[in-house]
Amino acid sequence: MTPDIGADPQKEFHDRISARNLAALWVARRGVDISKPKSPAVAALWRYDDIRGDIAEAGDIVSAEDAFRRVLVLENPAYPGEMRITNTLYAGLQLVKPGEIAPCHRHSQTALRFVVEGDGAYTTVEGERVRLSQGDFVITRNWSWHDHGNDSDGDVIWLDGLDTPLVDFLDTVFRDFYPEQAHPLTRPEGDAAARYGTGMLPMGFEAESIYSPMLRYPYAPARAALDKMRRAKSGWDECHGLKMRYINPASGDDAMPTMAAFLQFMPKDFSGATYRSTDGAVYCVTEGSGRCIVDGETFEWGPRDVFVVPGWHEYRLEADADSVLFSYSDQPVQQKLGLWREMRGA
């Protein structure tokens, strides 16, 4: 509370000039602490068991076609109605039931998928069909045509991660509908993986895009790599365990320009050191159980749970069983702008 010192001519000046769309910086910023980030976003966790029934109910009351995308959006409790999980990122759980098609469109936002439950759905990206199996990480470049389907006999649910709040903020939203429900298949399935996913590149390869030319990063080899690495003494991080970044194999950069994605392994009884970074992260548990302690508050997680840690909130991770976490954040944006920072220890 500022003490009541009677009329404040500077404040009066500040208020008076607002009629001319002016503000006095030294008055407006008085007492505001900008020594470090204080995101209004809060840490939160969605227990899969608590919300699986809501996802099933969404499946009963609307078709994928009518909903266009049948998604339950994971909203940060600090931002009700704003369709965002951090200041810059969106997260949602999308259900595609057997036989359904989520119609084709494209937009200037970038999307990632991380498959949480089920096998046998697909997404078609620019004419290449991409299989979606549990634990697979799939990227959808911005302005690429995409539709989803499920030709298996079970429900498939995946986590959608998008940069929509960031793209909204920049006033750069464009969207376009394809004239048909599904894009024609113009490339064989597995084409991108064959060209770019074997440690080789076609001779004369020149990047056409700032995105990874890969579409799908399957779970099995990523999981096997973590399992192999756990036997090595090196490569461990005191905060994160073994943490791998999904990359563009042609550049070594993040797979997408606006979002980084990671897969990390923590052994049973892992107790991570305290960590914070300016990028808020969304985590999805693929295996194991444990907890995330954020600013002293404990969030217990198990398979398929999703939790969010906003930027510059102090947190640490503990695992009760061998555990694997997928996560994504806006780290590449912050790094390219020279803004990203991290801090280890309290």
Q: Which is nearer to ligand 1HN, 164 or 323 (CB)?
A: 164
Is 326 within 8 Å of 306 (Cβ atoms)?
no
> Three-state DSSP class for 36?
coil
- Shortest gap between Cβ of 69 and ligand 1HN (angstroms)? 4
Answer yes or no whether residue 163 interacts with ligand 1HN by CB under 6 A.
no
Is 318 within 8 Å of 303 (Cβ atoms)?
no
Answer yes or no whether residue 160 interacts with ligand 1HN by CB under 6 A.
yes
Q: Which is nearer to ligand 1HN, 104 or 317 (CB)?
A: 104
Is 26 within 8 Å of 11 (Cβ atoms)?
no
Report H helices in 188-315. 191-196, 219-229
Q: Which is nearer to ligand 1HN, 47 or 69 (CB)?
A: 69
- Shortest gap between Cβ of 328 and ligand 1HN (angstroms)? 14
- Considering only residues 65-94, where is the footprint of ligand 1HN by CB under 6 A? 69, 71, 90, 92, 94
Q: Which is nearer to ligand 1HN, 69 or 230 (CB)?
A: 69
Residues composing the chain: 346
- Considering only residues 86-145, where is the footprint of ligand 1HN by CB under 6 A? 90, 92, 94, 107, 109, 111
Count of H-run helices and E-run strands, the chain: 8, 22
Choice from 146, 183, 216, 304 touching ligand 1HN (CB under 6 A): 146
Q: Which is nearer to ligand 1HN, 162 or 309 (CB)?
A: 162
Q: Which is nearer to ligand 1HN, 64 or 309 (CB)?
A: 64
| Site size for ligand 1HN (CB under 6 A) | 12
Report H helices in the chain. 9-17, 25-28, 48-61, 64-67, 164-169, 191-196, 219-229, 331-336
Is 246 within 8 Å of 137 (Cβ atoms)?
yes
CA dist 61 to 83, 102, 151, Å?
Answer: 21, 15, 21
Instruction: Summarize as ranges the residues that interact with ligand 1HN (CB under 6 A).
Output: 69, 71, 90, 92, 94, 107, 109, 111, 146, 160, 162, 164
